[in-house]
Amino acid sequence: MALNRVWKSLARRGQPGYRVRLSFSTRPPKNPFLHISEEIQEAVHSNKPVVALETTIYTHGFPYPQNTALASHLESVVRLNGGIPATIGVLNGTARVGLSPEEIIELTASAGKPDTKKVSRRDLAYICGLGMTGTNFNGGTTIAGTMVLAHLAGIKVFATGGLGGVHQGAENSMDISADLTELGRTPVAVISSGCKSFLDIPRTLEYLETQGVGVGTFADGREGNVEFPAFWTRDSGISSPTVIRDETAAAAIIFAQSSLPLSSGLLFANPVPSQYSIPKAQMDTIIAQAILDAKNSGSTGSDNTPFILARIRELTAGQTVMVNRALVEANVIRGTRVACELSMLEGSHG
């Protein structure tokens, strides 16, 4: 069809500004490296509330079979709150948006294996390309990797745990998460509990500002200015750039961002529920020890964050695992409500 010829022509140009809004039943031609489930294609096309979910938390966070149970639970949370979950990952060398229950089991069962990778933007071509040669990797998508694939599928809302950021000492190491640059160039709204507590939060916010990323924190019942959350604790000592009153306000911001349109993403920080928040002073002490241990161990680059997270888990006797589960679920609930509000808003301005 002529529409498909136009889509192919624009896709070949490879420029981020070229996008085609499909207002017909016709969909883009199949991509051998990207599979979008029928449910997700239909939901996006029908303007239903879709919520993207990452998979690094399953492949590199929780062991099997706890990771399978968590994945199933979070999908159920999305559906119970009126949304459609789009769990995103790489299976046997193919990027997939909207994993089936069987595919989720297959991916989560591969956690910890050498051929199960952590997949960011830079890794997608490598892993999918090698799949053509018969070398099939599985992969859990990071925030950056999930954003890329969600955007390709037309999904605008993504709920996750904690954002990556600028690491302590990054002025020397240049250790800055690809999550931040992805937010600067991919128009997806991310709902997270801020960034992980052991990162340099002031520099992370400065970097996001440079990237043109809108950042706000949900008021969550509080009045006036609020602090940007620090993952396991509601308080960071740093004021949030803006305050988001509720899901309706968040949806309105996404709608405006998309309608202008702007090519950058949005970060909505959702503080961990009060009953699970670890006191800031306690976390500061634990984090300082974990960072020191990481330095002494020689842990750098992509190995740094997993080492620090594991050390913090040990120092808190597993308390952070419980908090992590609670905040991820809270973010998925919040993200689903935002997606539902956005769906209604877009429907009324269709």
Catalytic (active site) residue 113:
no
The answer to whether 295 is a known catalytic residue is no
Q: What is the CA radius of gyration of the chain?
A: 19
Q: How far is CA 297 from CA 157, 176, 300, 311, in A?
A: 38, 20, 9, 11
CA 144 to CA 338: how far, in whole Å? 20
Q: Are strands 84-91 and 243-244 parallel, antiparallel or unpaired?
A: unpaired
97 bridge partner residues: 36, 88
User: Which pairing describes strands 84-91 and 94-97: parallel, antiparallel, or unpaired?
Assistant: antiparallel
Which positions ≥6 away from 314 have C-beta within 8 Å? none
Tell me the two tokens of residue 56: 């690094």
| Distance (Å, whole) CA 179 – CA 156 | 16
User: Which residue type sits at 303?
Assistant: D
- Among the listed residues 196, 227, 247, 341, the single catalytic one is 196
Tell me which residues are annotated as active site: 54, 196
